[in-house]
Chains A and B, each alone.
Chain A
Amino acid sequence: MNKTLKYITLFVLSLISLVACNDNEMLGPTIFDTVNHGLDSSSYSFKFDSYLNDNYLKPYNLYFIYKMEDKGTDMNYNLVPPTFDNAQKMAVLVKYLWFDVYTKIVGTDFMKTNSPRIIQLIGSPAYNPVNGTMLLGLAEGGLKISLFRVNDLNTSDIITMNEYYFKTMHHEFAHILHQKKTYPKEFNLISYANYEPFSWQDRDEKVAQSLGFVSPYAGSQTREDFVETIANYIVKTDAQWNTILSNASQGWVLSGNTYIPTADTDGVDGRAVILQKLAICKTWLNDSWNIDLDALRQEVQTRQANINMNQLLSSINNY
């Protein structure tokens, strides 16, 4: 009897569980606004938005975000938006010194395939108070590049512009490229004993160069070394590049507040190391991406020596 009761009860329970909550409704239409409203010609930013639409969104499927969205940033940092004026300047400069260069040297499809899908401008630096550094750029998963400190843009100072933005831009883009096609492992072995992941910022530029790094940050880890080599080579003028190589070929010692030349006792031929790394970068870019780094550099150098902001900005103002 007990057994029968047990089975009946379990059977009833099963039925209940099968039918009790059978009250699903059919899905209705989407609750989100799916209408493409286009750009509002009465908007304060209509001309600029139209420019971004035609020069980034349509050709590259790229959102150029200048109206700050802090949810698109690391909320641990305190950040502010870029000014409207500097956002416009940055937009035309990024196209002129980056997109148009690669398009000319590598071909029209290259950037369509490999460019990030989002470029985000941030007005301020992102401070790391713990180690006294600041972020100048960020590449995330090959999809997004963030450029910081846009409110400090000074279009008459190409050296600072390169340091803050365009070197960063090529740096982050090189990250995107090597995340898609890895670079030769032999690169990692060249300076493996001299990387300083946590105290790279404490190493003087000349000392870093003497150790075979183009910059202190290049001495933080191998992948940063790789992209720093490419980025610095692209944006530095011949004179600046030769200074790096010259610094790399000697030793440096702190005297007072400045470093002065001394006998090279670090056991590294910095100049040879940098050139060795550059050779690997060139070969990798050529073999993996069909990019002639020297031609690319030449194009950038020519363009950055002939920046005409009024002319570049007219492409926005003419809308």
Chain B
Amino acid sequence: MKFVNSIIYLCLVLLTVSCTFEEPNLFSETAANRIENAKKDYNNVLCSSSNGWVMDYFPNPTTEGYTFLVKFNTSGAAFITGKNKYLSNKLTTDTCMFQLIADDGPVLTFNTYGKNGVLHLFANPVDPAGTSNLDGIGLGGDYEFIVIKATATEVKLKGKKWGAYVYLHKLDDNQVWSQYFDLLDNMNNTLFANSKNILNLIVKTDTMPSYYGTTHIFKIIKNGQDPLVDGAYYPFIITTTGLRLYSSYNSNNTDFQTFVLSDDKQKLNCKEADGYLTGPNPEKYYMSSTVTWNFLLTSPMGTKFDSIYQKVVADCQSVFKLKLSNLYFKYNATTKFYNLQFKLGTIIGNFDYVRSDLGNNKVNFKYNGTADKNGLNLISKINSSQILVNFISQNYVISADCGLNLSVLKLTAETDSTISFYISL
């Protein structure tokens, strides 16, 4: 009886499953037809942009991003332009072939090497000139991309071998390609040229130091972490409006990825959430530095300062037949004075100041009344130089035209805005 029961149960099971016929088709067409159609559709999308696409290219998820402009032609040729350190920062154009192929799904492949290697140099196993690494990895980038999604204005790709997500954004019809790279250069210079300061990611009351911005790979330290051993790396790409992290930074379940420079250039505001990147307080930053600051004598100065400076220059030329070429702020570790240093021809002289932090973005320079031999000689022969030295001896409000890059600071006399000048690292 036991056997009979077992058989009956088995029959019941078989009756329920054995005649399960094929499920109705989930797709209206076969896989082969669907991929062929996808290839044609994606090809049409790529060729549809009359002025091409902005390609936000990350070779792989751990390296900085590079911008290319790409125009896909129906002939199968792709015209690519780039400008980056591997191209000696020169605007470089290139032509290669492209194709949509059926591979790991529809794949966009740039299947001949451009003459100038603008895109392919990132995939080349040969390291760029100047390095001798023969590990066969090169810059670890892709030239073949799985098409994840394509619309008329944006295409999302994924590197086939190295797996980085790459976006194509439709370029405005009227955008001149070379000027687009000028915009990127300007943004990069604004944010990072000569910059030595870290940035801070501010989210509500949290401040996360973000190091190494000039490498285009932030190291972001969360609250309480040790910058020497903790932190995570966030590669980013410069955009015409700011920068975009390759992968979003998450803080308290909120993602931060795209940052746009504010109109006053003091912050990079996050598009996705309430938070921003900014630089350190200029006054604190300046007071903590003991490096030499150059007067930017070609940048706009306040009218009164400019007037007396020009007088000194003219007097020096007249009396010494020498050009006053540079002024510096320089800390003298021996005398402990903060020097105003001048360079007259090849002659260098120093005036002794005491620098003090007044708080609230203010600093004070107090002339000590002393100078070295060349300084004393200058004052004795050129009256205007004494006026200049005294001009500098007062309270200044310190600010930065770009609050994210403190390599250039502006000093404005607290009581007279016509006395102002720029200093730079």
Contacts and interface: CB of A to CB of B under 8 A. Distances in A.
A263 interface: no
Given A85-B115, A124-B125, A21 B18 contact: yes
A127 B99 CA distance: 27
A83 B112 contact: yes
A227 to B, nearest CB: 25
A129 B137 CA distance: 9
B324 to A, nearest CB: 54
A87 interface: yes
A182 B73 CA distance: 50
A258 interface: no
Interface string B35-60: 01000000000000000000000000
Interface in B218-257: none
B102 to A, nearest CB: 10
B249 to A, nearest CB: 30
Interface residues of A, number: 44
Interface string B121-139: 0011110000000111110
A32 B29 CA distance: 12
Nearest to A6: B3
B135 A129 contact: yes
B113 A83 contact: yes
B7 A80 contact: no
Contacts of A70: 144, 160-161
B134 A129 contact: yes
Interface string A123-146: 111111100100000000000000
A124 B120 CA distance: 11
Interface in A17-59: 17, 20-21, 23, 31-33, 42-45
A33 B36 contact: yes
Interface in B4-40: 4, 7-8, 10-11, 14-15, 18-19, 21-22, 30-33, 36
Q: Interface majority SS on B: helix, strand, loop or mixed?
A: loop
B77 interface: yes
Nearest to B121: A80
B120 A81 contact: yes
A84 B36 contact: no
B307 interface: no
A9 interface: yes
A148 B379 CA distance: 72
A78 interface: yes
B19 A84 contact: no
Contacts of A83: 112-115
Nearest to A76: B136
Interface stretch (A61-69, A101-109, A183-191, A264-272): A61-69
Contact of B143 (A23, A44, A80, A87): A80
B96 interface: yes
A44 B136 contact: no
Among A5, A13, A21, A70: residue with most chain B CB under 10 A: A70
Contact of B137 (A12, A78, A81): A78
Contacts of B97: 44-45, 67, 84
A116 interface: no
Contact of B96 (A12, A71, A84, A129): A84
A50 to B, nearest CB: 14
Among B14, B75, B125: residue with most chain A CB under 10 A: B125
B46 to A, nearest CB: 14
A71 B30 CA distance: 23
B99 to A, nearest CB: 7
A17 B126 CA distance: 61
B153 to A, nearest CB: 26
A75 B96 CA distance: 22
A239 interface: no
Nearest to A66: B112
B126 to A, nearest CB: 6
Contacts of A77: 125, 136
Nearest to A79: B125
Given A23-B22, A31-B33, A69-B111, A127 B134 contact: yes
Contacts of A68: 109, 111-112
A13 B11 contact: yes
B272 interface: no
Given A44-B97, A80-B120, A128 B111 contact: no
B76 interface: yes
A5 B7 CA distance: 10
A2 B2 CA distance: 10
A141 to B, nearest CB: 23
B74 interface: yes
Given A13-B14, A87-B112, A44 B36 contact: no
Interface of B: 1, 3-4, 7-8, 10-11, 14-15, 18-19, 21-22, 30-33, 36, 73-77, 95-97, 99, 101, 103, 109-115, 120, 123-126, 134-138, 140, 143-144, 160-161
21 contacts: A2-B4, A9-B7, A12-B11, A20-B14, A20-B18, A23-B22, A31-B33, A68-B111, A68-B112, A70-B160, A70-B161, A71-B103, A75-B161, A78-B136, A80-B120, A80-B124, A80-B125, A83-B115, A85-B115, A126-B136, A128-B136
The 4 tightest CB contacts between A and B, nearest first, are: A127-B136, A44-B77, A67-B111, A20-B18
